[in-house]
Structure 1
């Protein structure tokens, strides 16, 4: 299955409007004011959509590591996952545990 090459970037038109472009400059997604359930969700939604190619890459790293038992690949996948979790404005399980102490 082919898809627009990443990385994808969010381009703002205004407060709650914009689009997401692939690395080839093609538009992947258009987000317009009022098209999402909550206007305050727009930026977070756009970041998650833009992260899709990186998320796919991370999942493929995990798949490879699990299939081949490759410890280095697993470490790379975990590091990539932590970066993506932070980019989405979320906390890792490890960070949540630290907060609970």
Structure 2
């Protein structure tokens, strides 16, 4: 996203405005929203988004084991490869969070 912000700031601005509108419309508690996004990024294979939203989930007081269990739920839908990549990514973030406590 950094490169898009630098090269096409108007696109980034529109993206963030859309994201804000969707967040306001959904009106979900922050932890729930981030947990749902963890599942969505697991399904799509978006490891960068998975990293961002796992960090946000943990900063919001989310339970690390709940994040991992959410990823495991995706096995029958997306398969073991995407789940393993996502699981490993989130485990790393959890370790960083424990060491640095963001």
Please indicate the TM-score interval, normalised by the length of the shorter structure: 0.3 to 0.5
Q: Which has the higher helix share?
A: 2
Instruction: State TM-score, norm by structure 1.
Output: 0.34
Instruction: State TM-score, norm by structure 2.
Output: 0.33
When Rg is computed on C-alpha atoms for both structures, the one with the higher figure is 1
